Amino acid sequence: MTVRIAVAGANGRMGKILIEAVHLSDTAELTVATVRAGSSLLGVDAGELAGIGKVGLLTCDDLSTQCDTFDVLIDFTLPEATLANAQLCAANGKGMVIGTTGFSASQKEALLAYQKTIGLCLASNFSTGVNLCFKLLDVAARVLGDDVDIEVYEAHHRHKLDAPSGTALSMGEVLAKATGRDLDQVAVYGREGQTGARDRKTIGFATVRGGDIVGDHTVSFLADGERVEITHKATSRMAFARGAVRAAQWLTGQPAGLFDMQDVLNLQ
């Protein structure tokens, strides 16, 4: 079955790659591509916007007029825009694949309320490789436990707005759950000055921003005499886009509820 996909924020870095990923899929069809209201890119062929040549679909700036033409919306935009799109999708029974990060606690609560009405696939990272790393981190943390110090390093391009990355925080959640800790209580976001000896129960985060780094993540399990490191490096946003399209195809067969890429990949 071919799933009809709408892409929000078609003129963004991820939006353009998502358009290409849908175009390359044999079982997905791009039927909507949105841009901000008043954008100079309104009415542009979505394929030309993405740099893949004309695909015969023009961008629009009002998703509400397109609800009959798509099955699933893929949204990698901003929290405010994603919430507005979620309200619209819930009112029209459309599933959502959400890669937006940086939600406040209240925004996240509002978003998750829609799981009662529609299928939401929400993930900090849609890469197959990263989601495999989540599984490996869970295993490593359970085996190594309190015998190691745990540090999370992440690096992204200079334009990324939130820090640490959503993926790094998800890694922290996996690590905290596996070791029986509360991430809110044990997370340390950067160090400066006379910090004293390291508390083994803490989970440290280090953030780098610069250049055009797509996304690097490394978790180090550091013991006396040895260390274990699990690393993922993304060299193209296509890794995220392919995963999001895969999630959209999977979501069409699911009931209302909250899902993530662990569900899509059957890694739970």
Catalytic residues: 156, 160
CA distances from 223 to 33, 182, 191, 217, 228 (A): 49, 21, 20, 20, 8
Q: What's the CA gap between 160 and 216, in Å, rounded?
A: 13
Question: Partners of 8 in the beta sheet?
Answer: 75
Report residue 49 CA to chain centroid gap: 22
**How are strands ordered across the β-sheet holding 72-75?**
28-33, 3-8, 72-75, 95-98, 119-122, 257-259
CA distances from 197 to 88, 149, 200, 202, 226 (A): 51, 12, 9, 11, 19
* Cβ proximity of 140 and 230 under 8 Å: yes
CA distances from 85 to 62, 91, 180 (A): 10, 10, 36
Residues 6+ apart with CB under 8 A from 189: 164, 205, 207
Residues 6+ apart with CB under 8 A from 225: none
Q: Is 249 helix (H, G, I), strand (E, B) or coil?
A: helix
Q: Is 70 helix (H, G, I), strand (E, B) or coil?
A: coil
DSSP code at position 26: S
